[in-house]
Homo-oligomer: A and B are copies of this chain.
Amino acid sequence: MLGAHRVSTDPDPREEVTLDPADWADFRRLAHRMVEDMVDHLATLRSRPVWQPMPNEVRDSFDQPVPMKGQGAEAAYRAFATNVMPYPNGNLHPGYFGWVQGTGTPLSMMADMLAAGLNPHMGGHDQAPVLVEKQVISWLVQLMGLPAGASGLLVLGGSMANILGLAVARSSQAGFDLRQDGLWGAKARMMIYASSETHGWIGKAIELLGFGHASLRHVPVGPDYRMSVRALKEQIQADRASGLQPICVVGNAGTVNTGATDDLRQLARVCRDEGLWFHVDGAFGALARLSERLRETVNGIEEADSLAFDLHKWMYQPFDVGCLLVRDGDAHRAAFARSTSYLRSMARGVMAGGLPFADLGVDLTRGFRALKVWMSLKAHGVETFGRLIEQNVDQAQYLARRVAAHPQLQLLAPAPLNVVCFRFAPGRMEEAALNRLNEELLFRLQESGVAVPSSTALAGRFALRCAIVNHRSVRADLDRLVEAAVAIGRQLVHESHGSRAREAG
């Protein structure tokens, strides 16, 4: 029936094409080759350098115009195998301890293939993949010790999990019509408290959410790099006295610099007493709860109102998958749930059950990142993850002991978890010279391909920093790191003596 709307006349129809392969057998052969090559890559990591710079011809290969004509799947794969696969970041390698990057696992690599193949739309709907994510969330709620009414969402990563956590905090604490009026509806500036050791996400979060840095108090830490609870309380009182509106305290479970964990029990108590939201950034530290032995390290995490952590760090999953859990599921939904006409929840059909995930965050279309977590927990079991996390902590303690026992190495911070900060310190050198020496040592170590630590600055001192979240590393890898660091350090001292001698001569 012709409505008011004109429709075009029929053009001469062309043959209909598809992105499915013309020959499935060909495609199967290529797919199997990709699997073989990638398994070869993973099974032989140890025989290659941790990291290597790219030759110029590889670098130049990424400087071509957009391909108008297709070259076929084989050629596309060849380009990957030749120019990409040999030059990654290095984080899979047993000798990689830089930043807190995680490794991925062979099983989860295949789970990501299955997820991309099945490719369900993870806003919601009546489908099994939604039940997979719901089950993963319920497992994580249980593992983190939150109550049954807690809700959760898998997100791209820890930054987004933390940002959404603060958004729930803001929504719950507002006391005015935040959704309608925005921050301009507030009677006073809202204030957030986090230790000075908090990861850089906090800056991104307070900017994105519209608070600005004036809303963030960097509470000082003690020599153990844990938030001073006294300073926190004083700051809250001072801010209230100035007419500001404290809304949220951010606790750290495993800081990025040193692995320190704030006294979460005490922070929870302060929040209860002050009527504030208690958010915990447990990026990697939260996973210590998977080990009975280490659980006490993050005591109090189960008292969080919201908790953010990554599964692509200390649960060894491939990028990207983070998680936000919220103690009060209703508060979580109240912060985000909306409805629009083309997304109505329906009583029956595909759309039954509505959009449980879209209602807990900002993304509507989401991938099936739950699958790898679900299959990993089923395949390996919580106990295996707990044991691996203990193993990484034991390795860090081993490294700390080797550093402490070595006359030319110096431990620069406590190593309560899996992060070890140290430097080469041959004695009788000024701080500035030590910093220069250790920076050059870091470059040469990375360039050697033997080991990749990263660095940080602790009280002005340049530190080599190892964060061990690698299921492939063994103690022998840490031995190689220590020996290479000392050898390069001595070589640098030797070179510097040589150059001083030349200058003097």
**Which residues of chain A from 339 to 381 have any CB-CB distance to chain B below 8 Å in the complex?**
340-344, 346-351, 362-368, 371-372, 374-381
Per-residue B-contact encoding for A104-119, CB less than 8 Å = 1, 0 else: 1111111111111111
Which of A89-97, A295-303, A323-331 is the interface stretch?
A: A89-97
List, in ascending order, chain B residues with CB within 8 A of A54's CB. Answer: 126-128, 131
- Contact across chains for B109 and A113 when beta carbons are under 8 A apart: yes
**Which residues of chain A from 440 to 494 have any CB-CB distance to chain B below 8 Å in the complex?**
442-443, 446-447, 452, 454-457, 465, 471-472, 474-475
CB distance from A310 to the nearest CB of B (A): 7
Which of A78-86, A227-235, A262-270, A496-504 is the interface stretch?
A: A78-86
- Contact across chains for B400 and A7 when beta carbons are under 8 A apart: yes
List, in ascending order, chain B residues with CB within 8 A of A167's CB. Answer: 207-208
Q: How far is the CA of A31 from the CA of B106 in the complex (A)?
A: 9
CB distance from A451 to the nearest CB of B (A): 11
List, in ascending order, chain B residues with CB within 8 A of A304's CB. Answer: none
Contact status of A391 and B17, CB under 8 A, knowing A77-B375, A91-B120: yes
**Which residues of chain A from 157 to 181 have any CB-CB distance to chain B below 8 Å in the complex?**
157-160, 163, 167, 177-181
CB distance from A450 to the nearest CB of B (A): 13
**Which residues of chain A from 1 to 38 have any CB-CB distance to chain B below 8 Å in the complex?**
1-11, 13-14, 16-21, 24, 27-28, 30-32, 34-36, 38
List, in ascending order, chain B residues with CB within 8 A of A6's CB. Answer: 414
- Contact across chains for B51 and A350 when beta carbons are under 8 A apart: yes
Which of A59-67, A246-254, A273-281 is the interface stretch?
A: A59-67
- Contact across chains for A210 and B182 when beta carbons are under 8 A apart: yes
List, in ascending order, chain B residues with CB within 8 A of A114's CB. Answer: 34, 38, 80, 85
Max chain B CB contacts within 10 Å: which of A5, A54, A68, A397? Answer: A5
How many copies are assembled? 2
CB distance from A255 to the nearest CB of B (A): 10
Interface status of A243 (Cβ within 8 A of chain B): no
- Contact across chains for A62 and B134 when beta carbons are under 8 A apart: yes
Contact status of A157 and B364, CB under 8 A, knowing A35-B28, A88-B129, A411-B7: yes
Interface status of A213 (Cβ within 8 A of chain B): yes
Interface status of A71 (Cβ within 8 A of chain B): yes
- Contact across chains for B377 and A73 when beta carbons are under 8 A apart: no
- Contact across chains for B39 and A27 when beta carbons are under 8 A apart: yes
Q: How far is the CA of A143 from the CA of B68 in the complex (A)?
A: 10
Q: How far is the CA of A214 from the CA of B336 in the complex (A)?
A: 17
List, in ascending order, chain B residues with CB within 8 A of A217's CB. Answer: none
- Write 17 A-B pairs (CB below 8 A) sorted by A numbering: A1-B403, A4-B223, A8-B397, A8-B400, A13-B398, A18-B388, A27-B39, A65-B139, A71-B379, A103-B119, A167-B207, A182-B189, A182-B206, A184-B189, A319-B368, A320-B367, A346-B439
Other than the given A70-B380, A182-B213, A319-B368, 17 more pairs (CB < 8 A) read: A3-B404, A13-B475, A16-B391, A18-B472, A19-B316, A21-B107, A28-B36, A38-B117, A62-B135, A64-B135, A163-B362, A180-B212, A183-B184, A204-B362, A209-B210, A312-B367, A348-B447
